[in-house]
Each structure stands twice: as structure tokens, then as C-alpha cells.
A = this chain, B = another copy of it.
Amino acid sequence: MASLDEMRMLMRELPGPDLEARTACIAREGTLTKPAGALGRLESLTEWLATWQGRHPPTLNHPRTAVFAGNHGVAARGVSAYPASVTAQMVENFVSGGAAVNQLCQAVDADLRVYELDLDNPTRDFTEAPAMSHQDCARAMAYGMMAVERGLDVLCLGEMGIGNTTSAAALCCALFGGDAADWVGPGTGVAGAALERKRAAVVAGVARHKPTARDPFELLAAVGGLELAAIAGGVIAARLARTPVLLDGFACTAAAAVLFAIDRRALDHCQVAHRSTEPGHQRLLEVLDKRPLLDLDMRLGEASAATLAVALLKAAIACHTGMATFAEAGISGPTH
């Protein structure tokens, strides 16, 4: 049976970068037929993939998209534009192939897995009680770890859960400080009174739980959600398995940020795929010192942006592995 203590132990065993693979990658990159650095972030993405896959050349034949779905007690406070029943309805939509993420997985040839976390039993309303017990949180993390198998080249993580940007805002506020209003945004599209309810819920949740939580995992249990805990578990498992990770939007990045709050190097194997229009995401990116790969005004979640960014990784590797060297092509180098 999983426990938070076991998760704490895993956090002390996270493997570091493969410097040999990185060096081999940099060496080849410098020989390719282009001015040095002219492919910009495509070059650094290739280097990052090599470093965290632990091999050169890196590969991208088996991307996986994992979407975790959970329900939130706090949704009953009217913090979302949609009823909580939409979580399960969207899971059905994922299964029947009708959601955005299905089309995006097809576009980049990613294997889509959808993980439901006990949708009939939402977490408790965190303004009144801890959202989950420590054990339920650890169990959800362990469940999330199952999304990682041998042979994956990259893991795209995402979520579905009505109410979860409220939970993510509370988590960020508790982990990184600031006012609730800094972290609360429209989510699926709330404004006015609903937005104020959302802010008030975050204030209440942080005030109730921050004083008693002994570490970021306990905060995750107190104000997080099952799908957020699962994402945190997925990020850990991916690190252990040398699988680079693409993080999606605000809720997903907030879940991963729990690990950053424990160890600043814990997300070195992760890229943030996209800058969400959710304002808390921008603030969180600054905390994590992550520059997103895309900036397309998306705010959908469900791993949509993470999956879309796989196209960039594929392109990066295609250039790195397929291009001719100056020597092969007989091209003159710089004159000065």
C-alpha cells in the first residue's frame, strides 16, 4: 500500500541528467549544415531529450498522452462555469474519441490513456476539511505512476476535473505564497460572483490547511485533487524511467510544482508545453523558471497543449538526426 513516506523516499532517489548523452548531442549539433544555434529551441529540445532519455540520438517514436480525471468537492461551491457531472461526460467523450485531445493525439501519433480516479467520490470540499487523506493522496500518486511504462519516448500529462483550477490555485498559493487573487482566474470561464466565490474558497482553504501541513505532499492532500496527485506521481515515475515529460496548462503544472517545492531539480526532465491564458499559470512559470514551448492562448487542459507540443519534439529530432554535416555536404564554413 502506497504512503506519502514512500513518495518522500522516491523523491530522494531521482536520477540526474545524463551528461554523456548531452555531450554527444551537442557535438553532433555543431556539425550540422546551419549557422551555429540557428534552430534555436529545436536544438535545446533535442539536447534536453537526449539528456533525460539518457541516450544519443534521442528518439520520439512512442509518445504517450495520459489524461487523469477527478472530481472536486469544492465544485459544489459554484466555482466553475460547468456542473461537476461534466467531468464524467468528458471522460466518455475521451473514450469515444470526440474531444480535442483525441484529434491531437491522432495528429502527432500519440497513444492516449485516460485514467478515471473514482469520479463518483469527489474529494471533500477543502474549505471544510482536507480534500483527501494522506493515504488516498499516496494511492492516487501511485495510480498516476502506472501511466509510465518502458519504451515511452515522452509522456504528455493532462487533466480533466471540474473545479480543479480552484484546487490548483489553492495549491500554488499555499506552496509559493502571494494573494489568492494572484492565482485565481476564469478557469472554464467564470467571472463576477462566481470568480469571487472561487477566490474566497482559495483563501479559506489556504487559511485552514497551510498552518498544519508539514510538507508539500501534505498540502497536495489537503487542497489538491486525485487527478493532481496522479499527475505528481506520473512526473516522479517518468523521472525514474528516464522518460521526459511535457506538462500541459495551469492545473497540470501546479500538480507538478508540488515536486519542485520539495526539490528544485525535480522538474528538470519536464518542459511546460504552453503558456495558458489562465493568469496563475504565468506566475507559476516564473516560480518554476520554465519558458513554455507554445503560446497560443489555449486554456483547455486535457493534455491538449502538451500533445500538440509533441510535434515540435518530433521536428527537433528529425532535424538533429536527418541533417547533413558541413563535411558531408561539402559546404564552406564561416569566413570570419
* Chain A to chain B contacts (Cβ below 8 Å), 6 pairs: A32-B100, A39-B298, A93-B324, A93-B331, A103-B321, A294-B294
Binary interface profile of A, 27-41, with partner B (CB < 8 Å = 1, else 0)?
000001111111111
Whether B103 and A334, one on each chain, are in contact in the complex, defined by CB atoms closer than 8 angstroms, is no
When distances are taken between beta carbons in the complex, the residues of chain B under 8 Å from A315 are 103-104, 107-108, 308, 311
When distances are taken between beta carbons in the complex, the residues of chain B under 8 Å from A299 are 35, 37-38, 40
A279 CB, min distance to chain B CBs, angstroms: 14
When distances are taken between beta carbons in the complex, the residues of chain B under 8 Å from A97 are 322, 324
Q: Does A114 contact B (CB under 8 A)?
A: no
When distances are taken between beta carbons in the complex, the residues of chain B under 8 Å from A277 are 40
A114 CB, min distance to chain B CBs, angstroms: 14
Whether A103 and B322, one on each chain, are in contact in the complex, defined by CB atoms closer than 8 angstroms, is yes
A84 CB, min distance to chain B CBs, angstroms: 10
The residue that A41 contacts in the complex, of B85, B100, B296, B330, with Cβ under 8 A, is B296
When distances are taken between beta carbons in the complex, the residues of chain B under 8 Å from A294 are 294
Q: Does A335 contact B (CB under 8 A)?
A: yes
A119 CB, min distance to chain B CBs, angstroms: 14
Cα–Cα distance between A295 and B294 once the two chains are bound (Å): 7
Whether A81 and B335, one on each chain, are in contact in the complex, defined by CB atoms closer than 8 angstroms, is yes
Whether B297 and A102, one on each chain, are in contact in the complex, defined by CB atoms closer than 8 angstroms, is no
Write the chain B residue with the least CB distance to A320.
B103
Binary interface profile of A, 70-110, with partner B (CB < 8 Å = 1, else 0)?
00000000101111011001101100111110111011100
Whether A334 and B33, one on each chain, are in contact in the complex, defined by CB atoms closer than 8 angstroms, is no
When distances are taken between beta carbons in the complex, the residues of chain B under 8 Å from A188 are 35, 38, 334
Whether A334 and B82, one on each chain, are in contact in the complex, defined by CB atoms closer than 8 angstroms, is yes
- Taking A81-B336, A308-B315 as contacts, is the C-beta distance between A322 and B189 under 8 angstroms? no
Q: Does A329 contact B (CB under 8 A)?
A: yes
